[in-house]
Structure 1
Amino acid sequence: MYTNRWLHSALKVVQTISTTIAATLVLPLAALAESGPGPGPLGSGPGCNFFPASASIGTRVDQTYFGPPPTDPSLVGPVQTLRSGTVSFDRNSFPGTVTLPLYKGYLKSGETVWYVITDTDDEANAEALGFNFSSKLSYSTPGARTGNFNSQGEIIFDQGKVDFSPERQVQPGSKERPFPVASAQPGSVGDKDYSPLVRILNSGGRVYNAPIVAFNVPADKINFPQGNPNYKLVHDEVVAIDTEKMTVTLNLVNGFSFGRPVWYVSMDSSDPTVAAIEGATSAPALQKIEVGGDDSFSSAVERIFIAINGPSQNGCKNPQRQGLYAALTDGYRPNNVLGGIPTIANDYSPLWDINLYEWTQDAVNNGDRTQLREEFHILGLVESGFLTGPNGSEFGSTGIINNCPIVFRLL
């Protein structure tokens, strides 16, 4: 497989910092009641770190003999999809994060809105400004706020407030079955009108994915360029925020799309319990968007597949680690499987329709349980009876949407 010198250099950095990250970002079970982003995507073992190995492994030549990757990003990565920001691999500068432009707008009632933009259904603007393009967002208007540009080019939002003051809390279920959780409180809560989506009425009615990262607070109160922000004022996935340079650094999350490792940001959920587990904002207005249609006409969503009882023993040391049992036990992310993403498919949407799956007891007893990385492999195992919905129920949409824009494809 082809790789390039950039990937080789970044790999050396990652290999050097993995131990440091593990020491500083491990989130034990007891710490799930704390606000903040928790671990990043560069964990201490193969179950929590999917950064690609050097292509020279197993060959008789050095890495430098390998040529650059093909220019077509659909063939092989690395490729950054959300080009408006900078992804960091630097151990001295928030590794495993993306730094995006920070935008300032206002609610029409006067409150200040601090937000980022990640996706749009305006293909030309996506290309020009480095956002992800998602044609499916055109069908998301039932769950979108509305707004208009003022004469300074700032968005004046018609509705949608977020309270960042709650303390994020997640209390897992039993030791044997940590999910469903016993209780949960998201660290940021939107009002009934809040959605990360905004339809700009005086700009062609285009839809932008514009999650709020701070609300109704002056710039000097949220200026934390060196990190350690006040999570009673900002989104839990914020690692650093600079209101002078107008940037915000967000934690990234490991996942897979069609077998390839990807990094994404988890910003909002239509369900408060999921928002608490994800460190995301509870966004009730997303509930107005139809789910269950996947790639059918008028569907605004793409599917995400989340294991309940995937392999969890030995935590990050387990290369097969996956699922909510693992995440609620060791604190790292569950290694979810996403459908189509930019550079792989045209059906991408940042609005992920959650499909929970559970390995049957027979599959567990027979040793069939493993880490899954590809949508149609999962669907095939459902069809063959190895996987079901929660507690043996019918597999399908849970009715919950997560807003998780794709940032980077590692292969």
Structure 2
Amino acid sequence: MKKILTLAGWCLALPALAQGLPVQTPITEIQPAPASIGADVPVTYFGTAPSTVQKELIGPYQLLKAGTIDQEKGTITLPLYKGRLASGETVWYVLTDTSDEANAAALGLNFSSKLVYADVGRGVRKASQQLINGETVVVFERGRVDFSPVHLVTPGAEPNVFPPTAVQPGSVGDADYSPLAKIGDYIYNAPMVAFNVSEAKLNEYCSGNADHSVVHDKVVSICPRDQVVTLALTTGFSFGRPVLYLSTEANNALPAALEGATLAPGLTDVRVGGDDSAFSAVERLFAVINGPTNVEAGVIHPQRQGFNSALKGEGGPLNVLGGIPTVATDYSPLWDLNVGQWTRHAIDKHYRARLRDEFQTLGYVRAGWLTGPGGKAFGSSGLIVNCPIVFRFL
């Protein structure tokens, strides 16, 4: 069993660190209040959300429909798939996105046409369906993951604790590992959650207390017997809407460790910096280093955000995602990390506030209030995180 981490991802709280227990960012920090607040009737008297009639309208909407969401715990329970590596090892994985629009609708996955452009170099692994001992199995040609490393993030010195002084992702893929796989004519986002471990062993974690030296750090419980796995979600925003998403891989050790995700070197071959241009496989994610932090320990500042806040144990960084399905047409689970830093001038003038929207963020960049790290030009960091969208609250 992996023991205590210095900081187990972005979404831990300091009391939990003292006890060695992972804690999710309070969903109430971004979840809208019910319509009954200030009204003369209880919430049960209100009609259904408009989004249940037409998904583009305002209201809660589940995007990744393949699973069941627990909003209180900030988790999703997805179907667990059993595959094989060509060399014979067992691969346990989930499905979140695909470039096959019809199958996305049929399976409750996110549709992303942009995934086809990730099929460069090691960006996409080849896979095929094969009949093995009378059972149809997806066999991946390459890509292993070691889940045994101890997840470690050591914050820097106060007051600016980012960047951390040491990081170690809790799971590390080999040089060929990417979560993307081409099966038939289409590309699927198939993050690995366990590798080369028996069904009997994983069934020990059907009720929780998953051993993260055996499974992905986002796994809360895993149960091959019931063919399901429960995964922790991350909170953020997209075009002003609070959202939940699943962080599973990154192409660099720093974001992989911060996200509690797997280091996936194969994603390094996917081109960044192009965003919505022709043949781009990525969409932009905006993160800030020095957003507002809590003024008192244990108190949630209404505007808190950013890496410094997360590394202080105040909650997740509350990143801003670009286009998601039902809001934009350019969605991709591969997010090109654009990191911003508030300038001294912006802080002194009290311009600094929680960012919620892509164009709000870019407006602050144009005004000169946000720059890249250390005052450098704002733009792509070259880092990719695989974060399938799961749910929007509005």
TM-score w.r.t. the length of structure 2 is: 0.91
Of 268, 280, 283, the residue aligned with 2:261 is 280
- Change in Cα spacing, 1:311 to 1:349, as seen in structure 2 (3 Å) is same
Contact 2:12/2:24 (<8 A) preserved? no
Written as runs of structure 1 = structure 2, the 5 A alignment for 1:295-306 is: 295-306=276-287
Task: State yes or no: 1:126 paired with 2:97.
Answer: no
- Change in Cα spacing, 1:318 to 1:29, as seen in structure 2 (3 Å) is same
Please report how far the alpha carbon of residue 61 of structure 1 lies from its aligned counterpart in structure 2 after TM superposition.
Answer: 3.9
Distance in 2 separating the partners of 1:165 and 1:27: 23
Please report how far the alpha carbon of residue 53 of structure 1 lies from its aligned counterpart in structure 2 after TM superposition.
Answer: 0.2
Gaps of 5+ in 1: 1-24
**Hey, what does 2:17 align to over in structure 1?**
31
2:220 match: secondary structure: strand
Distance in 1 separating the partners of 2:64 and 2:101: 13
Distance in 1 separating the partners of 2:362 and 2:56: 23
Task: State yes or no: 1:396 paired with 2:374.
Answer: no
CA RMSD of aligned residues (A): 1.8
Written as runs of structure 1 = structure 2, the 5 A alignment for 1:193-272 is: 193-200=176-183, 203-204=184-185, 206-223=186-203, 224-272=205-253
- Change in Cα spacing, 1:387 to 1:61, as seen in structure 2 (3 Å) is same
Distance in 1 separating the partners of 2:231 and 2:299: 22
**Hey, what does 1:333 align to over in structure 2?**
316
2:258 match: secondary structure: helix
Task: Pick which of 383-392 and 174-183 moved more.
Answer: 174-183
Contact 1:29/1:331 (<8 A) preserved? no
Distance in 2 separating the partners of 1:199 and 1:153: 16
Task: State yes or no: 1:366 paired with 2:346.
Answer: no
Please report how far the alpha carbon of residue 32 of structure 1 lies from its aligned counterpart in structure 2 after TM superposition.
Answer: 9.6
Distance in 1 separating the partners of 2:384 and 2:232: 20
- Change in Cα spacing, 1:349 to 1:316, as seen in structure 2 (3 Å) is farther
Counting matched residue pairs gives 374
Contact 1:32/1:171 (<8 A) preserved? no
Please report how far the alpha carbon of residue 125 of structure 1 lies from its aligned counterpart in structure 2 after TM superposition.
Answer: 0.4
Distance in 1 separating the partners of 2:286 and 2:358: 7
- Change in Cα spacing, 1:272 to 1:26, as seen in structure 2 (3 Å) is closer
Gaps of 5+ in 2: 1-10
Of 43, 49, 60, the residue aligned with 1:69 is 49
Task: State yes or no: 1:51 paired with 2:27.
Answer: no
Please report how far the alpha carbon of residue 367 of structure 1 lies from its aligned counterpart in structure 2 after TM superposition.
Answer: 1.3
Identical residues among aligned pairs (%): 53
- State the one-letter code of the partner of 2:84: Y
Task: State yes or no: 1:101 paired with 2:87.
Answer: no
Please report how far the alpha carbon of residue 33 of structure 1 lies from its aligned counterpart in structure 2 after TM superposition.
Answer: 12
Deviations along 1:44-90, whole A, 9 cap, x unmatched?
xx6xx212101232334443343222211111121111001000146
- Change in Cα spacing, 1:32 to 1:251, as seen in structure 2 (3 Å) is farther
Contact 1:258/1:373 (<8 A) preserved? yes
Distance in 2 separating the partners of 1:32 and 1:311: 24
- State the one-letter code of the partner of 1:229: A
Task: Pick which of 357-366 and 54-63 moved more.
Answer: 54-63
1:222 match: secondary structure: helix
Distance in 2 separating the partners of 1:286 and 1:302: 14
Contact 1:117/1:211 (<8 A) preserved? yes
Task: State yes or no: 1:167 paired with 2:150.
Answer: yes
1:358 match: secondary structure: strand
Distance in 1 separating the partners of 2:179 and 2:118: 11
Please report how far the alpha carbon of residue 176 of structure 1 lies from its aligned counterpart in structure 2 after TM superposition.
Answer: 1.4
- Change in Cα spacing, 1:283 to 1:366, as seen in structure 2 (3 Å) is same
Distance in 2 separating the partners of 1:122 and 1:334: 32
Distance in 1 separating the partners of 2:314 and 2:173: 25
1:317 match: secondary structure: coil
Please report how far the alpha carbon of residue 345 of structure 1 lies from its aligned counterpart in structure 2 after TM superposition.
Answer: 1.0
Distance in 2 separating the partners of 1:394 and 1:258: 23
- State the one-letter code of the partner of 2:13: L
- State the one-letter code of the partner of 1:146: K
Deviations along 1:289-338, whole A, 9 cap, x unmatched?
00001111101000000010000124651010100000000152100000
- State the one-letter code of the partner of 1:86: T
Task: State yes or no: 1:179 paired with 2:165.
Answer: no
Distance in 2 separating the partners of 1:84 and 1:335: 24
Please report how far the alpha carbon of residue 30 of structure 1 lies from its aligned counterpart in structure 2 after TM superposition.
Answer: 8.9
1:276 match: secondary structure: helix
Of 345, 359, 365, the residue aligned with 1:376 is 359
Distance in 2 separating the partners of 1:169 and 1:220: 28
Distance in 2 separating the partners of 1:306 and 1:39: 21
Please report how far the alpha carbon of residue 273 of structure 1 lies from its aligned counterpart in structure 2 after TM superposition.
Answer: 1.4
Contact 1:117/1:210 (<8 A) preserved? yes
